[in-house]
Amino acid sequence: MIIILKSGVTDAQIKHVIERVESLGLRAHLSCGTHRTIIGVIGDKSQLQPARFQAIPGVADVISVLPSYKLASLDAHPEPSIVNVKGVKIGGGNLAMIAGPCAVESAERMDAIAKSVRASGANILRGGAFKPRTSPYAYQGMGEEGLKILRETGDKHGLPVVTEVMDPRRVEMVERYADMIQIGARNMQNFVLLTEVGSTKKPVLLKRGMSATIVDLLMSAEYILSQGNPDVVLCERGVKGFDPATRNLFDVAAVPACKVLSHLPIIVDPSHATGRPDLIGPCALAGVAAGADGVHIEVHNCPEEAMSDGPQALLPEQYQQLAGQIRALAALLGKTISPAAGCKS
């Protein structure tokens, strides 16, 4: 950390700052320039709180040399992390193919969709049992009954399952049924929920918030990592934009940007990013080409009857075609798609 002092700072103020640094067991290196005086802080700065130094008279600014997201950064883990979801690898050249309906609606429909996406090459099944909806009158999900259906369907078709948790009080329940726990965009900065999920042993799919910066996303991942759970997968799913042509603004540049800053795998969700079936394919391929470690796509066999987000779902035959294109691109880029090989909880 570097502490920049104000022009005209007094010797007494400089001494006070140095004493504060040394009281924390750190070393201070004073450098007096023509226009500025700076103090370099050397040592283990894990307990250091820059905001406290900014409150000291004579301090102009405090600059962290290392990022605040220490565990999520490349400095902490120079090699790409690989997250294992019941045998399906994500990251480090391994591509996840996550597919399924927005919400679990019935055992029969879940079975039909799972059968089709598995045949097309999906290796993780998705489906929401608890749905965060803008309107309190919209479909809220089947709750634990939906979790049971998702688990039974995943076991039947040999697919690991991922589903969202919204409430810290439901983490234990969701953990019993899911192979991977999803934190949705609306809860990306629900720090109590992040801390609770970080205490589990299940991999976590963390979606970027609708107005979140990339650093915001990495700081949320840090909450999970700090609790001892190393298996976090980031997800770019679009941020708020000004153009109504798409549901959200698909920030494909977030993929390589995260790769520069973090070792964590990152996947893309073009379904939520665009809200348009005709744009899902091109954006999914763009994400993979940009370096994404997987694609997360909504598939429904009768979108007009879907209880949630039907207009943005692909039909099974559309997903089959896109999955083939993704596999071809993955092969060109030297990426591997782990086959789902059966899973029992």
Per-residue pLDDT of the chain (345 residues; tens, 9 = 90+): 789 998 888 999 999 999 988 888 888 888 887 778 888 887 766 667 778 888 899 999 888 777 888 899 998 789 999 999 999 999 999 999 999 999 999 999 999 999 999 999 999 999 999 877 777 877 777 899 999 999 999 999 999 999 999 999 999 999 999 999 999 999 999 999 999 999 999 999 999 999 999 999 999 999 999 999 999 999 999 999 999 999 999 999 999 999 999 999 999 999 999 999 999 999 999 999 999 999 999 999 999 988 887 889 999 999 999 999 999 999 999 999 988 866 444
Give the phi and the psi of residue 8 in degrees, each rounded to 5: 85, 10
In contact, 149 and 167? CB cutoff 8 Å: no
Residue 162 host element (H or E):
strand 161-164
Q: Which residues, in sequence order, are CB contacts of 186 under 8 Å at separation 6+?
A: 132, 166, 209, 210
- What DSSP letter does each residue of 243-264 carry, written as one string? -TTSSSB--TTHHHHHHHHBSS
Taking alpha carbons only, the member of 248, 140, 229, 126 closest to residue 185 is 248
- Pull the structure tokens for residue 74: 């490349």
Model's pTM, two decimal places? 0.85
Rounded Cα gap, residues 223 and 55, in angstroms: 26
Q: What is the number of other CB atoms lying within 10 angstroms of the CB of residue 316?
A: 18
List domains and CATH numbers for the chain.
Answer: 2-63 (3.30.70.1140), 83-337 (3.20.20.70)
**Alpha-carbon distance 110 to 156, whole Å?**
11
